[in-house]
Amino acid sequence: MSADNTNTTLRGRAALLDIANLDTDQIMPKQFLRGIDKSGLAPGLLYDLRFDGAGQPREDFVLNQPAFAGTDVLLAGSNYGCGSSREHAVWGMQQYGFKAVVASSFGEIFYSNAMNNRLLLAMVSEDDAQAFMREARATQGPLAMEIDVEQRQVRTAGHSAPFTISERHRRMFIDGLDVIGASLTYGDQITAFAQRHWEAQPWVKDVARRTRERLAAAAGPA
């Protein structure tokens, strides 16, 4: 998927996964949650759909088909990402190469996790989702798809539809920020608030450091 110079439009190749209520346990099974960081999650993505009980790839699964190698948009069924709150489902999708998911609805916690990590979720109406799915089924290989964040539009050769996104998340994508970066844009206000707080209640400034110093002094030389 590519982004234009203003970070407002994502263009990619979409794979269809028309399964409603696909939960985060299926997106990222529990056996892949053993690490202590975000890395190494791509092999676990949709594992039980991609592989059989013997660990062999299911040839009929869309992401295992050669024509769909490198797809970076998922056209998904309704209520995608329901279930548990594991953020690994989002990280795994990104590590696999997905930049966006288009669906008529998403699990609430998954939606927040995804948008805060810059995995773009474009929520369209059910009628529009079905229109995109019909087009995907009629297309040989991935469906070329454009997601215009500025205009809140999803476009293909055969259909265009508005999608829902909050103004905060829209600005984050346009400005190239994750949730931490968005918070840091308020740095001056945060500093001013902290200064006022410390001036009104000076005893709470650096309280942890000062407590450690008093304890160390009371304990004497090591």
Residue by residue, DSSP assigns 18-32 as --TT-BHHHHS-GGG
Assign 85 to helix, strand or coil: coil
Task: Please list the pLDDT of the chain residue by residue as tens digits (222 residues).
Answer: 444 434 799 999 999 999 999 999 999 999 999 877 888 999 999 999 999 999 999 999 999 999 999 999 999 999 999 998 899 999 999 999 999 999 999 999 999 999 999 999 999 999 999 999 999 999 999 999 999 999 999 999 999 999 999 999 999 999 988 888 888 888 999 989 988 998 998 888 888 888 888 888 888 776
The pTM of this model reads 0.83
Residue owning tokens 């400034």: 205
What are 184's two structure tokens? 């840091």
Note the Cα 205 to chain centre separation in Å.
Answer: 36
Question: What whole-number distance in Å separates Cα of residue 158 and Cα of residue 135?
Answer: 7
